[in-house]
Amino acid sequence: MNTDLTLYESKASPNSRRVRIFLAEKGIEIPTRTVDLGAKEQFSAEYVAINPRMQVPTLVLGDGTVIGEVPAIWRYIEEAYPDKPALLGTTPQAKALIAMWERRAEIDGFAAVMEGVRNAVAGLKGRALSGPHAYEQIPEIVERSKMRVAHFFADFNERLKTVPFVAGDAFSAADITTLAAIDFAAGGMKMGIPPGFDALQAWYDKTSDRSASKA
């Protein structure tokens, strides 16, 4: 275990799960500190001093450097452990294709679910956008999010008819974000993979079965 690093995270945070799976796929263990979102611990003075954006996950390095944002935490881990299986690609072409597909999974899937949840849930009134500033919910966004998630399922089903993994031939961070988005849609919006989307369902079943996906 690398005790120079500390990961602040929450089991209730789908973004934290993206980092947990990434670490588990690489077989890396680092000390974690739970931030209790139910108790609004992310707004506590102690946590705001660590991450003024009041978000999880946050990775703190041994020298005190604070890394927020999932893709940035991933990038640190990928670069700091070059002997572990690569999840962000090994060639310039693979790195770019994984970056592209991971981003599409985030924008079309993960972020669409996130805005659907944050603009709908009563407990997030006045917190429609994550971060240090207060924004009121916009109900019209919720209906649009449902359309976006439906398109995400359809588009990724088409993609997965042609390739075994989201970014191509190998498992990558793009699969992690896609999995996290699908489970977040099921849990947060009660939207599951529609019947007949066999390629996406087969990919989902296979990916869910990976031991790291339980992280």
Quote the CA–CA distance of 156 and 137 in Å, as a whole number.
28
Pairing of strands 6-9, 58-60: antiparallel
For residue 211, state whether it binds a second copy (rule: CB under 8 A). Answer: no
Question: Of 119-178, which residues contact a second copy (CB under 8 A)?
Answer: 129, 131-133, 135-136, 138, 140-141, 144, 147-148, 151, 155
Query: Residues 6 or more apart from 88 whose CB is under 8 A from it?
Result: 74, 75, 78, 95, 98, 99, 172, 173
For residue 100, state whether it binds a second copy (rule: CB under 8 A). Answer: yes
Residue from 1, 39, 46, 65 in contact with a second copy (CB under 8 A) = 65
Residue closer to a second copy, measured from CB, 20 or 148: 148
For residue 189, state whether it binds a second copy (rule: CB under 8 A). Answer: no
Residue closer to a second copy, measured from CB, 11 or 96: 96
Residue from 31, 61, 186, 194 in contact with a second copy (CB under 8 A) = 61
For residue 72, state whether it binds a second copy (rule: CB under 8 A). Answer: yes
User: Residue type for 187, please?
Assistant: G
In DSSP terms, 6 is beta-bridged to: 60
Residue from 26, 33, 84, 103 in contact with a second copy (CB under 8 A) = 103
The nearest distance, CB 172 to a second copy, in angstroms, is: 13
Instruction: Give the number of other CB atoms < 10 A from CB of residue 37.
Output: 16
Mapping DSSP to helix (H, G, I), strand (E, B) and coil, where does residue 75 land? helix
Burial of 56 (0-12, 13-18, 19+ CB in 10 A): buried
Nearest of 173, 160, 186, 184 to residue 212 by alpha carbon: 173
For residue 48, state whether it binds a second copy (rule: CB under 8 A). Answer: no
Quote the CA–CA distance of 139 and 116 in Å, as a whole number.
9
Residue closer to a second copy, measured from CB, 46 or 63: 63
Quote the CA–CA distance of 198 and 203 in Å, as a whole number.
8
Residue from 38, 45, 64, 92 in contact with a second copy (CB under 8 A) = 92
Residue closer to a second copy, measured from CB, 93 or 208: 93
Chain residues binding a second copy by CB under 8 A are 59, 61, 65, 67-69, 71-73, 75-76, 79-80, 91-93, 95-97, 99-100, 103-104, 108, 129, 131-133, 135-136, 138, 140-141, 144, 147-148, 151, 155
